[in-house]
Structure 1
């Protein structure tokens, strides 16, 4: 494995827990990569929905479109593609719950609510996090003014390709990186070398690896079929358990602005 580290892949997930889009270059904003997890699906009680409880969300693919994206259902050709703009308007608003946070959000189009309710077989709504919404990153570990989108807790998730290769060497059925939903994937270095980093740079931009990412049942869900295979999480748990949690990848905070592109060099500045 090469000791030279480079940014191999960039991903955004416009809707939390739906399919991702691989980019050649991306703009960094205060909450992470531009357009990443700014949309969220909530149930009729305005509580966030993910593949943890609704594995069928894996069947909703996302593709880029002009000033927005298109959602399609892998197994339902009768559902015409749904276009969603990258940003909503403040015409209708509500408060939604994501983990322990109570967040102000704008409603999407009623047509999107109807499409998603039909696709997922339950009443749900599509909501958007505007720049007005304040969802702080845990201030005990981060600057007090750091904010995050509808991602679980941090602006970025970083994983090394070597870490996935190590896992796949232990699995009877190798899995792709989309099981782990990273924003930043790098090549080079040993498996799980990212666990040892503290401060690092991508190009000339500074990032900080805050803590390892605890993994859940989503890692067992085939993103093409929505079928679960417990081997992935069980195998990870056999060699990646720390403090009762299964760890894979690093939660990361960033500079709040800048540009990234595939091929950028990574440089580790300090270690934990």
Structure 2
């Protein structure tokens, strides 16, 4: 085992495409951080989930935030109010924010009861349990662009402080196991980036050069995905150990 970094930040995104919440600790389960990306906003007419990276009418999603409260998300609107997703007027509020007919739906039913007919959302892509970025990768990109990089551009679950390392160090971890406290995970693949990286959001302006640089310098990859081997709590400050024995396919 070799300590390669430590956990600097943990993020959870209760509602896909909305701003997330920075948390001090999280419980990891097989599907990732509990409460992460379990809900979606959708076009009520078509049922299609939000896609800010390719449809400009969804870009106001980045100016809403979501947090988990008592197992259900709440959404923060421009007036500062936090509204639970089961509030009677939540769809009307979202519709006013976006300017077209919008609803919020869970990706999974609330219960296993077959009589539960609540409408659910469809995932637009294969969901990876965890997304990780490193401080050395953000420094690498910052040097290319000549400006600081905010991790919110990449919506990671875990930001790893790799002080003393340079460049895209996490690429060398693919196929190896990472240990964070009692939790273990397997680094599986690099993360293909999309237009979400360049979209404006609170305190961050639109910047197409971010995606252009990643495309030119690393074939559109930035950060890595990981699957959870051993479920357990993690916390900011936990050391991260790399198991230097590649996992057989």
Give yes or no for TM over 0.5.
Answer: yes
**Is 1:72–2:50 an aligned residue pair?**
no
Q: Which runs of 5+ in 2 are unaligned?
A: 113-122
Identify the residue that residue 118 of structure 2 maps to in structure 1. Answer: none
Identify the residue that residue 40 of structure 1 maps to in structure 2. Answer: 40
Identify the residue that residue 116 of structure 1 maps to in structure 2. Answer: 94
Deviations 1:155-181 (A, max 9, x none): 100111110111011113323000000
Is the CA contact (8 Å cut-off) linking 1:68 and 1:83 kept in structure 2?
A: no
What TM-score does the superposition give when structure 1 sets the normalisation length? 0.75
Is the CA contact (8 Å cut-off) linking 1:32 and 1:256 kept in structure 2?
A: no
> What is the RMSD of the two structures over their aligned residues, measured on CA atoms?
2.6
Q: 2:183 aligns with which of 196, 205, 210?
A: 205
**Cα displacement (A) at 1:117:** 1.1
Identify the residue that residue 197 of structure 2 maps to in structure 1. Answer: 219
Q: Which 4+ runs in 1 deviate beyond 4 A?
A: 63-69, 131-134, 149-152
CA separation in 1, counterparts of 2:224 and 2:188? 7
Q: Which runs of 5+ in 1 are unaligned?
A: 86-107, 135-148
CA separation in 2, counterparts of 1:163 and 1:202? 20
Q: 1:192 aligns with which of 168, 174, 177?
A: 168
Deviations 1:13-33 (A, max 9, x none): 010011111111101123210
- The residue matched to 2:156 in structure 1 has which SS? coil
Does the C-alpha gap of structure 1 residues 211 and 65 become closer, same or farther in structure 2, counting only changes over 3 Å?
Answer: same
What TM-score does the superposition give when structure 2 sets the normalisation length? 0.81
- The residue matched to 1:254 in structure 2 has which SS? strand
Identify the residue that residue 92 of structure 1 maps to in structure 2. Answer: none
**Is 1:13–2:16 an aligned residue pair?**
no
**Is 1:265–2:239 an aligned residue pair?**
yes
**Is 1:62–2:36 an aligned residue pair?**
no
**Cα displacement (A) at 1:110:** 4.2
CA separation in 1, counterparts of 2:104 and 2:82? 12
Identify the residue that residue 139 of structure 1 maps to in structure 2. Answer: none
**Is 1:125–2:82 an aligned residue pair?**
no
Does the C-alpha gap of structure 1 residues 131 and 113 become closer, same or farther in structure 2, counting only changes over 3 Å?
Answer: closer
**Cα displacement (A) at 1:204:** 2.9
